Amino acid sequence: MGTDIALQKKIQKAIAFKLDGENKKAVAVLEGLLVDRPYHLTILSSLAELYTVEFKYALAVEMYKKMLMVLDEDDDCDQVGIISINIATNLHTLALYSEAEQYFNIAQKLLPDNLNVLERKANFLVDIGRVD
């Protein structure tokens, strides 16, 4: 139990760094925690967000994909859809269009009425020249 409290305190410290705009310090703390907790959703999510802000899109995709390994699509449908759209957006930025489209499709399937998903997918399709 003491280990969980220590872990939570370290995560809170990383989040405080992030909120203070000290992204490099936040990343350092979270990457250190990831060594012992490679599939901890809060750590993965926080790192994915930070990597995206720091333009480290491939690393962000890696963190989001690890999150999908933990989540069950049936039980966590909304969360899987949101993670999928984040993966798709980062892959789009990396010009990995085929893989990006797969994740846009997953997100749209899971969140068919989500305007954010529809808008991002539409922008993606326009960007790759598929205006039809």
More confident residue, 1 or 97: 97
Q: What is the DSSP string of the chain?
A: -HHHHHHHHHHHHHHHHHHTT-HHHHHHHHHHHHHH-TT-HHHHHHHHHHHHHTT-HHHHHHHHHHHHHHS-TTTSHHHHHHHHHHHHHHHHHTT-HHHHHHHHHHHHHH-TT-HHHHHHHHHHHHHTT---
Q: Does 27 have pLDDT greater than 70?
A: yes
Structure tokens at 58: 């491939």
Q: Does 47 have pLDDT greater than 70?
A: yes
Instruction: Give mean pLDDT, residues 12-29.
Output: 95
50 burial class (0-12, 13-18, 19+ CB within 10 angstroms)?
buried
pTM (global) more than 0.85:
yes
For the stretch 73-110, pLDDT in tens is 777 889 999 999 999 999 999 999 999 999 999 999 99
pLDDT for 132 equals 77
Structure tokens at 33: 């925690």
The distance from CA 53 to its chain's CA centroid, rounded to whole angstroms, is: 11
